[in-house]
Amino acid sequence: MITIFNRKELISTYDTKKQAEVRDLLSQFKIPYSINVINRKSPSPFDAGSRARTGTFGENLKLEYLYIIFVRKEDYDKADAAISGKIK
């Protein structure tokens, strides 16, 4: 089980394809992981409803979601080697 106390951030990306590739590699090497998805356009408690006022005109929608992938600290080196292509 991955908790806040035993995890380490492996990668953070806005690229949907990149996060899918990383997740596939981690699954292939049987490395447990967790993922946090942050929607940058969701309203915050401090400014609820900003999207309704401003919309998305002029914004790069590819940067709307941030994907953060975590692995256990003891699996970090193996996971890093897997995504950088050092192990097959």
Q: What is the CATH number of the domain that holds 69?
A: 3.30.70.1530
CA distance 79 to 69: 11
Q: Note whether residue 28 is domain-resident.
A: yes
Q: Note whether residue 2 is domain-resident.
A: yes
Q: Note whether residue 50 is domain-resident.
A: no
Q: Note whether residue 6 is domain-resident.
A: yes
Number of domains present in the structure of the chain: 1
Contact of 66 with 35, CB cutoff 8 Å:
no
pLDDT in tens, the chain (88 residues): 899 999 999 999 999 999 999 999 999 999 999 999 998 776 666 665 555 555 656 666 667 889 999 999 999 999 999 999 877 6
Q: Note whether residue 9 is domain-resident.
A: yes
Do the strands 7-13 and 33-39 form a parallel or antiparallel pair, or are they unpaired?
Answer: unpaired
Q: At what angle do helices 16-28 and 76-83 cross, to 10 degrees?
A: 120
Domain that holds residue 22: 1-42+62-88
CA distance 22 to 80: 10
Contact of 70 with 7, CB cutoff 8 Å:
yes
